[in-house]
Amino acid sequence: MQKNVIIIGAGGHGKVIADIVEASGDKLIGFFDDNLSGKIMGYDILGKTENYAEYPEAFFVIAVGNNKIRRKIAEKIKGAKLYTAIHPSASVSKYAKIGAGSVVCAGGVVAPEVKLGEHCIVNHGAVADHECKIGAFTHISPNASVCGQCEIGESCHIGAGAVIKNNVFIYKNVTVGIGAAVAKSIDESGTYVGIPAVRIK
């Protein structure tokens, strides 16, 4: 059944999700954005986040890469129907569980028995390998690889091209820098960079 979708956030990530909605055969009604007006990719910006209740039959997806902002918007639209955006070219196992409002971009891989929390992003070419547990509001950036049986807490950001070794635990609110390699578990929030990754703040 075709779904009517509104994307919250009309920036670059919003354009990516618009492409996913179109490719999936669902109907994009338009965008909400708290700072922009006019049209994006030929679609109207219909209003601000606070207007969501005016569209009770629509499904909403939050197109904001920043985890903290995405969480704040999710709180504002609590009770709304959530759209899970999965590009047809993504490889998502039928044995995986994808949380409501999450996004899997083109070329993304979500392997068997992965549990992906709500409002997560698996960006272009990113991999969540077998039996991983990914907390809500976590963003796995383009071409990052989370190897098998990892557990990643809520609101983490795994930078583009980063690699997380198998069987690693990562605490909540952790940022892993671009191209970093995480070879052992991370038990404290903060920013980790380098090969092997070390905490810098």
- Map out the domains of the chain with their CATH numbers: 4-83 (3.40.50.20), 86-192 (2.160.10.10)
* Mean pLDDT of the 24-28 span: 97
Query: Confidence class of residue 151 from pLDDT cuts 50, 70 and 90?
Result: very high
C-alpha 31/C-alpha 152 separation (Å) is: 30
Each residue's pLDDT tens digit, 111-137: 999 999 999 999 999 999 999 999 999
Tokens of residue 35, six digits: 């700072």
pLDDT, the chain, mean: 97
What count of residues does the chain have?
Answer: 201
The closest of 148, 155, 130 to 140, measured between CA atoms, is: 155
User: What pLDDT, on the 0 to 100 scale, is given for residue 1?
Assistant: 82
* Beta-bridge partner residues of 175: 157, 191
C-alpha 155/C-alpha 136 separation (Å) is: 6
| Summary count for the chain: helices (H), strands (E) | 2, 25
pTM value is: 0.96
Indicate if the pLDDT at residue 191 is higher than 90. yes
Q: How large a percentage of the chain has pLDDT more than 70?
A: 100
Query: What positions carry a catalytic annotation?
Result: 130
User: What pLDDT, on the 0 to 100 scale, is given for residue 167?
Assistant: 98
- How do strand 115-116 and strand 39-40 relate by DSSP bridges? unpaired
* Mean pLDDT of the 150-166 span: 98
* Mean pLDDT of the 57-82 span: 97
- Integer-rounded Cα Rg, in Å, for the chain is 17
C-alpha 159/C-alpha 136 separation (Å) is: 17
Indicate if the pLDDT at residue 201 is higher than 90. no
User: What pLDDT, on the 0 to 100 scale, is given for residue 92?
Assistant: 98
User: What pLDDT, on the 0 to 100 scale, is given for residue 57?
Assistant: 95
